[in-house]
Each structure stands twice: as structure tokens, then as C-alpha cells.
Chain A
Amino acid sequence: MIVVGLLALILAFDVAHAGEIVALPNEEPSLVLQEPNECLQGNSYCAVRTSERRKFKWIEKSATLTMDWQTLLLRLEPGVFRLISGNLWVSPQKGQSEILTVETEAAQFSSRYEFWIRREESQILILSVRGPVEIRLRGDSQVYVLESGFQNWISRVDRRGRAQMGIPRAIDIESHIEVWARLFPGSRTEFRAALEEWRPIWLNAVGLSSEIHQELVHHRELAMAREHRSKKAQAEARASENQRLRELFRQKVLLE
């Protein structure tokens, strides 16, 4: 009787598992996808993509490049990278590293300090965390410097043949902390300490940013006043032209 019961149990187990979805063994992480295969170890061209909800630390020279989820990064040559999609955090190993360059299709960013890049739909956001970042825009020979605690956006090459850049402003703290917390390598306590240490840099940037914007507003006011004067002069010229026309018509229509 017991044997029959057990056999029935086995049969029921078998039937229940006949339509089960198969769990794929490859769901286990190979950490990142590399192209060409296993290229991370070398020094030459290498494309690396992180998968969903999986960040990756790439140690290069004396810097660490932390790739966020679903980020695609190319190593063009030692010390020179190209970010194609996602977010990338660049930090020196011990305070300061050799100069590391990260490119995008619109601009090139070089620094030996900590910075990070966020790729958005139509523009690139560069955030300088500690120390200056040099920015070279495509189609523009000038080198711009983004000071620590500041962020700026860069858009693609426009009809003037050069990439465009905004006005630097203090880092947007909320989105910055969100990404930083996600990519930070240490524990929560270490993160809090790092954040406290960084806070004065940000506060300084906020003060400077305010001064820059006040100056900009002042310049804009001056420009608007100039434009107003020019428009007024044009209106006066037009009024005088209209007066001349009226005179002409008085002669033609009234005094014929």
C-alpha cells in the first residue's frame, strides 16, 4: 500500500514538472561582456559592456573606472577611453593619478582627479568631483576647464561645426549622490565620511556658481538695454520714414 502511494507521489511530481520553465545556467554572471573576447587583460582596443544591475570596476594605470549598469566603454589605447552609453566614474587610486582621458563623440575630458560622466538622451553631463577637468569640444581648438564641484552639459556638433557647451553650475547634489552611492566601492560609513569630506568643495562651488550667474544676469541686462536702444533707434528711423511717406501722399493725394 505504501509503495503504491509513493509511486503515485513520484508520478504526480513528474506531471507537475513537465511544463516548468527551464532555468538558464548562463544567468550567472560572466561579469561583463568583452569584445574582443578576454581583452581586458591587454593594453589594446577593448570594448566592455556591463549588464542590467551590475556595475564593474576597471583598473587602468593608476585610476579606477567604475562603470554603472548598462554602460558601454571602449579602451582605445592605454589611458584613453571612449564612453558610448551609461555612466562612468573615474577616480584616482590614491588621491592623484596620471592623466586619464575619456572621450565621447562631442568632447574629450582629461583629468588626473576624480570626475564622472553621465550620458543622457541628447547631451553629455560632465561633473568634476575633486580637481579640474579639461574639456576639449569637437570642432573647437580651445581648452575649457571645469573646476571641482561644478557640472556642465555638452551637446552634439551643430550647424556651426562645433559641439556646444552650457554655463558651468554647481553640481546637482541629489542626482550626484544617487549615482555616487551606487558606484561607491566602500561601506556605508565610508561613503558618509567621503560625502562629509566633499561637502565643503560643493558649498564653495555653489557660492561661485551664484556669483557667475549674477554676473551673467548683469551682462544680459546690459545686452537687453543695448538691444532696446537699438530697437528704439530703428523705430524712430521708421517713424521718420513714415512721416516722409505721409508727406509724399499729402502732396500726391491732397494737393493734386
Chain B
Amino acid sequence: MTRFVLFILCLTLALIEVRSYFHNYFSQSDRLRGEVGKLKERLARETLRRDLMAHQLDDFRQVVATLLPEALKPQRSNRADDYPLRNLATIVFEQKSLNLGLERAGVLFSKAKTHFQQGEYERSNRIFSSLIQNYPDTVHLAESYFLLAEGQFQAGDFEGSVRNLDAMITLFPESSLTGYGMLRLGKIFESQDRFEDAEVVYRTISKMFKDESMLVQEAQSRLKAVEL
């Protein structure tokens, strides 16, 4: 009996071995494993090559970035073949061009003010209008509105003047210059026989600009004249 059991066990083991051999032979799993391994290795190698090339490109970009400020110096000629560099310059020196713009606004403001002081209102009005439109960030904005409104009044353009004084009241309600502008607005209303509007304006000045004694004094004197 024991011999029989041993025989059966040996036979079973032999059968397992034979089955395993034939299974591997017919399913080709060893070969497939090998192929997958090779493909994986190839993929890793290709990834490495790709990363090395990407690094070369990145390194080249850094070299270009090092040379760019020299190439973009302003004294370069403006030839057509410089276009790509000039195009790039508009991006690289963005901050600088912004500063230049603000400096330019300062120059324009001085120029317009000179024309205003010399009584050349048409010219000063043109420059102030362009300044307000093109450089809304300038520190001279309130003064520009003010001088433009006054210049327009002097040139007889009452409508334009009222429009700009209105903008001033909206944008700079606390500026003392706005107070003087409002005084001018009241006078325009008076000249147009709009006494009620003028009265409202003078009352507003008296209420809003208490610290500007001369302004309040003038507003109250105009108010009395209007009430009469």
C-alpha cells in the first residue's frame, strides 16, 4: 500500500513537472517576459535621451537669455531684419517702457501748462486732452482736467468745460482744485441763466471745502448775488 502511495506521489510530481514544461512551451510566457523587459529598457533609454535633449534646449535658452540684453541695446539700428529682436524687446523691457511713458506724460504736462500760461488755450487744450486719454495713470491727471476745463472756458467751449468739470467732481471730489472748478461751473450756469443750478453748486462748495477760506468766501458772495 505504501509503495503504491509513493508511486502515485512520484507520478503526480512528474505530471506537474511535465505540465509546467508544456505550459511554458506553448504559452511562450518566458519569451514574452523577455520582450516586455527589453521594451521597458528601451523606453527608459528613450526617455533619458529625450530628457538630455530637453536639457540641451533649456541650456541654449539660458545662453540666449544671457546675450539678449546686449543685443537689445537701444542704439541698434531700426533695420527690417532687426524686427524679431525689437519685437522681443517690447516684452523684455515692459517695465522700462512704462516708466518712459510716465516720464513722457510729465513732459507733455509742462508743455501744455506753458501754452496755458501764455494764453494759447487751443494748443494747451489739445495737449491736455491727449494727456488725459493716453496717460490715465499720470500724477498730473487732476491738474490736467482742471486746466483743460479752464482752457475750454476761456476758448468759449462751455459744454466741453462743464463735461470735464463734471468728470473732475466724479474722479477727484476732495481735491481743492475741484472746488475752484466748481466755482467756474457755477459761473457758467449763471452766464446761462441757470441760477438754481448755480445756487446748488455754490452751496456744495461752501459745505465741502470748509478749509479753503477764500474759496468758501467767494462761493458765499456768489450765492448772495444769485439769491438777489
Q: A residues bordering B, Cβ < 8 Å?
A: 2-3, 6-7, 10, 14, 22-26, 30, 33, 35, 47, 49, 72, 74, 84-85, 105-106, 138-139, 156-163, 238, 242, 245-246, 248-250, 252-254
Contact = CB atoms under 8 A, between A and B. Distances in A.
Given A3-B8, A10-B15, A26-B40, A246 B177 contact: yes
B98 interface: no
A238 B58 CA distance: 49
Q: Say whether chain B's binding surface is mostly helix, strand, loop, or mixed.
A: helix
Given A161-B69, A246-B176, A84 B44 contact: no
B150 A254 contact: no
A84 B55 CA distance: 7
A247 to B, nearest CB: 11
A2 B5 contact: yes
Q: Say whether chain A's binding surface is mostly helix, strand, loop, or mixed.
A: mixed
B29 interface: yes
B62 A106 contact: yes
Interface stretch (B30-38, B75-83, B122-130, B192-200): B30-38
A162 B70 CA distance: 11
A22 B177 contact: no
A173 B187 CA distance: 75
A156 B62 contact: yes
A246 B52 contact: no
A23 B214 CA distance: 95
- Chain B interface residue number, banded: 35 or more
B183 A159 contact: no
A33 B92 CA distance: 40
9 contacts: A25-B34, A33-B44, A72-B48, A105-B55, A156-B62, A159-B69, A238-B139, A253-B183, A253-B187
Given A161-B70, A254-B218, A24 B15 contact: no
Contact of B52 (A10, A47, A158): A47
Contacts of A254: 183, 214, 218
B33 A245 contact: no
Nearest to A22: B33
Interface in B147-165: 147, 150, 154
Given A26-B41, A246-B177, A250-B214, A157 B36 contact: no
A-B pairs, 6 with minimum CB distance:
A26-B37, A161-B69, A157-B65, A139-B66, A249-B180, A6-B12
Interface string B88-116: 00001100000000000000000000000
Contacts of B143: 242, 245
B51 to A, nearest CB: 6
Given A24-B40, A157-B62, A35 B48 contact: yes
